[in-house]
Amino acid sequence: MDLKVGDKVDLIIGRISRLGFSVLINKEVEGLLYKNELYVKLEEGDEKVGYIKKIREDGGIDVSLQPIGFKRTLIENEIKILEALKKAEEGFLPLHDKSSPDAIKYGMNMSKKAFKSAIGGLYKLKMITIESDGIRLVEHN
């Protein structure tokens, strides 16, 4: 199998270990999905789309559920936040840069760092306002 870093692949979630989940990549080769990089609940047998993160010297393959590359991930996170705001009542989400990492993780399926980067970009583009108790789409003001 000819895989490169950044390749989009199909994953079947396997057993959990102390490092993370073993995965079957494209039904052919085994890889590892680190649990400290997960922002969604996974169970054995789940099928997900993933990305090749690293091909280790020992031949092991590390995968991620997020696309590889900061700019691409940032844009996808901004879109995810905008979609959530559009679905939310009055274009408001009770999450902001001071929210707990767990609230952001379970509310938006991303890390606090990724969330803060994304809302910072949306704020600079004047697409959202950041209020004391959350974020709001500008068009709803």
131 plus 82 within the same structural domain:
yes
- Could you report the per-residue pLDDT of 48-61, keeping only the tens digit for each? 999 999 999 998 99
Task: Please report the DSSP string for 20-64 in residue order.
Answer: EEEEEETTTEEEEEEGGG--S---TT-EEEEEEEEE-TTS-EEEE
pLDDT above 70 as % of the chain? 95
- Could you report the per-residue pLDDT of 16-56, keeping only the tens digit for each? 999 999 999 999 999 999 988 887 789 999 999 999 999 99
pTM as predicted? 0.57
Q: What is the mean pLDDT of the chain?
A: 90
101 plus 41 within the same structural domain:
no
49 plus 75 within the same structural domain:
no
Residue 3 lies in a domain: no
48 plus 75 within the same structural domain:
no
77 plus 127 within the same structural domain:
yes
59 plus 91 within the same structural domain:
no
Domain boundary among 22, 43, 64: 64
Domain that residue 25 falls in: 8-64
pLDDT at 140: 44
> What is the domain-level CATH number for residue 16?
2.40.50.140
Contacts of 21 (CB under 8 A, 6+ apart): 13, 14, 15, 32, 33, 35, 42
Domain boundary among 49, 64, 79: 64
Residue 1 lies in a domain: no
Domain boundary among 64, 80, 106: 64
Q: How many domains does the chain have?
A: 2
74 plus 135 within the same structural domain:
yes
107 plus 132 within the same structural domain:
yes
Residue 34 lies in a domain: yes
